[in-house]
């Protein structure tokens, strides 16, 4: 059975060019990049080249790039560094729709006695900028706002938010894990962003490699303390193969940015338009005009997202749902809840996230196969009244 993979915000396939570049570093080129001998030194030089390629993707200087183990580590390192370099300040500002990498950290910090403000979003997932501005106080050490939402693809105005923070002497971090490689990012232009996170496995590099951009002049306190690696900012022998692979992935992403924003975007737009036209009571979650080019999150009223996923899985279609089976109860995601998506819609939400490896045939297949799946599930739903096509009871 063919796999039709539209779950690229969860993870991406490793690009063949990336894999090819990495293989020698699992084999003959196993030297330690920090070694004094030239056998290790050649690996160190390759890491240096990768650093330049990563920097080029986001318009940074190579010296501002720090390799980590994942996006989650980068997010943690940024916020915790901001707190430990400004011990007098005890307040963190973030949003209600952050990835658990920041949301979980915020909860941990609030349990440790820090004050954490989560800025709300509206029904379209757009940040409440008035609330944001009012939440910035002299006690605020750091703001951490995601550039692009992993569930809806909605973009936050991070440059504007960073400028507002900078005017008040507040450090600004952005989780750009989903934005990296999909939309242009330029840290060289007059940007007030101090720190930015990326993750390799969202842009066709392997899992287990991340990046933290730290703007020159930003005080930084390491999360992983140990060796001298990464100029003392992140201890631990480098994940050479993955770093080298990530360099190639960033080079490819830069070259494919145009395709991502034209061909991939038009496949996403067609998928969305055709599903909305063929399936009654379906609706996009998130501001349609202000989103990543590859992501759509669609709610199908009165159907269980997990059931849709299971039936699509039988056909080889991979996507994600906006509800997760946690502790026996199907809870809609915190993102859709923060947006105020009604229960019967949030439960039936599916995220499709495309990549340059998708084709028009993938879209055709889903457009053909999904409507009968929804119809079948609705015919079994106690909440669906077919003759009027509405939800009879709104539970919860």
Q: Catalytic site residues? A: 325
Question: Which listed range, 67-75, 76-84, 214-222, 257-265, lies at the site for ligand PLP (CB under 6 A)?
Answer: 67-75
Residue nearest to ligand PLP (CB): 71
Sheet holding 210-214: strands in order across?
65-68, 210-214, 195-199, 171-175, 140-146, 91-95, 115-119
Nearer to ligand PLP, 200 or 371 (CB): 200
- For the CB of residue 195, give the shortest distance to ligand PLP in the complex, in Å: 13
Beta strand pairing call for 140-146 and 115-119: unpaired
Tell me if 199 contacts ligand PLP by CB under 6 A.
Answer: yes
Q: Rank residues 70 and 241 by Cβ distance to ligand PLP and give the closer one.
A: 70
Please identify, using beta-carbon distances, which residue of 175 and 251 lies nearer to ligand PLP. Answer: 175
Of 146 and 253, the one with the shorter C-beta distance to ligand PLP is 146
Count of residues touching ligand PLP (by CB under 6 A): 14
Pick the binder of ligand PLP from 6, 78, 121, 146 (CB under 6 A): 146
User: What is the C-alpha separation between 329 and 326, in angstroms, rounded?
Assistant: 6
Q: Which of residues 100-129 bind ligand PLP (CB under 6 A)?
A: 101
CB-based contact 350:321 (threshold 8 Å): yes
Angle (nearest 5°) at CA 212 between 141 and 223: 65
Per CB under 6 A, 178 contacts ligand PLP? yes
CB of 315 to ligand PLP, least distance (A): 25
Closest approach, Cβ 151 to ligand PLP, in A, equals: 8
CB of 152 to ligand PLP, least distance (A): 11
Are 153 and 296 a contacting pair, CB within 8 Å?
yes
33 vs 153 by CB, closer to ligand PLP: 153
Phi and psi at residue 33, in whole multiples of 5°?
A: -60, -20
User: Binding segment for ligand PLP among 171-179, 226-234, 282-290, 372-380 (CB under 6 A)?
Assistant: 171-179
Binding ligand PLP (rule: CB under 6 A), the pick from 140, 150, 242, 320 is: 150
* Pair 198, 243: CB distance under 8 Å: no
Residue 72 engages ligand PLP in binding (rule: CB under 6 A): yes
Which 220-259 positions form the footprint of ligand PLP (CB under 6 A)? none
- CA 205 – CA 300 distance, rounded (Å): 33
Out of 99, 281, 351, 378, which residue is the one contacting ligand PLP (CB under 6 A)?
99
Indicate the residue among 201 and 268 with the shorter CB distance to ligand PLP. 201
Residue 173 in contact with ligand PLP, rule: CB under 6 A:
no
Q: Is 175 among the residues that bind ligand PLP (CB under 6 A)? A: yes
- Per rule CB under 6 A, is residue 177 in the interface with ligand PLP? yes
* Under rule CB under 6 A, residue 355 binds ligand PLP: no
| 96 contacts ligand PLP (rule: CB under 6 A) | no
Site residues for ligand PLP per CB under 6 A: 70-72, 75, 99, 101, 146, 150, 175, 177-178, 199, 201, 210
């Amino acid at each position: 059975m063919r796999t039709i993979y539209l779950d690229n915000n969860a993870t991406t396939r490793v690009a063949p060019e990336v894999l090819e570049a990495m293989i020698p570093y699992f084999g003959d080129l196993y030297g330690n990049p920090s070694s004094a001998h030239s056998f290790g030194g050649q690996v160190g030089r390759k890491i240096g080249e990768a650093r330049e390629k990563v920097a080029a993707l986001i318009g940074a200087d190579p010296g501002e790039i720090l390799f980590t183990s994942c996006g989650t580590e980068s997010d943690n390192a940024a916020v915790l560094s901001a707190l430990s370099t400004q011990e007098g300040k005890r307040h963190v500002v973030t949003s209600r729709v952050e990835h658990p990498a920041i949301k979980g950290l915020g909860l941990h910090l609030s349990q440790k006695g820090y004050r954490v403000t989560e800025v709300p979003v509206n029904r379209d997932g757009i940040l409440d900028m008035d609330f944001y501005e009012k939440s910035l106080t002299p006690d605020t050490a750091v703001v951490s706002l995601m550039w692009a939402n992993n569930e809806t693809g909605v973009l936050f105005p991070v440059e504007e938010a960073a400028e507002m923070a900078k005017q008040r002497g507040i450090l600004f971090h952005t989780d750009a894990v989903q934005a990296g490689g999909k939309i242009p990012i330029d840290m060289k232009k007059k940007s007030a962003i101090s720190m930015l996170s990326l993750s390799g496995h969202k842009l066709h590099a392997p899992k287990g490699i991340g990046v933290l951009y730290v703007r020159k002049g930003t005080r930084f306190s390491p999360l992983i303390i140990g060796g001298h690696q990464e100029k003392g900012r992140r201890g631990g022998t480098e994940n050479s193969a993955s770093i080298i692979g990530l360099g190639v992935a960033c080079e490819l992403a830069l070259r494919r940015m145009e395709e991502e924003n034209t061909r991939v975007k038009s496949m996403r737009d067609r998928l969305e338009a055709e599903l909305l036209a063929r399936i009654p009571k379906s609706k996009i979650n998130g501001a349609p005009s202000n989103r990543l080019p590859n992501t759509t999150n669609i709610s199908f009223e009165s159907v269980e997202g997990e059931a849709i996923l299971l039936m699509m899985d039988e056909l080889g279609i991979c996507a994600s749902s906006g509800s997760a089976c946690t502790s026996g109860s199907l809870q809609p995601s915190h993102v859709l809840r923060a947006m105020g998506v009604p229960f019967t819609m949030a439960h039936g939400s599916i995220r499709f996230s495309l990549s340059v490896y998708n084709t028009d045939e993938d879209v055709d297949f889903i457009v053909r196969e999904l409507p009968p799946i929804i119809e079948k599930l609705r015919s079994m739903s106690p909440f669906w009244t077919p003759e009027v096509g509405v939800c009879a009871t709104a539970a919860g």
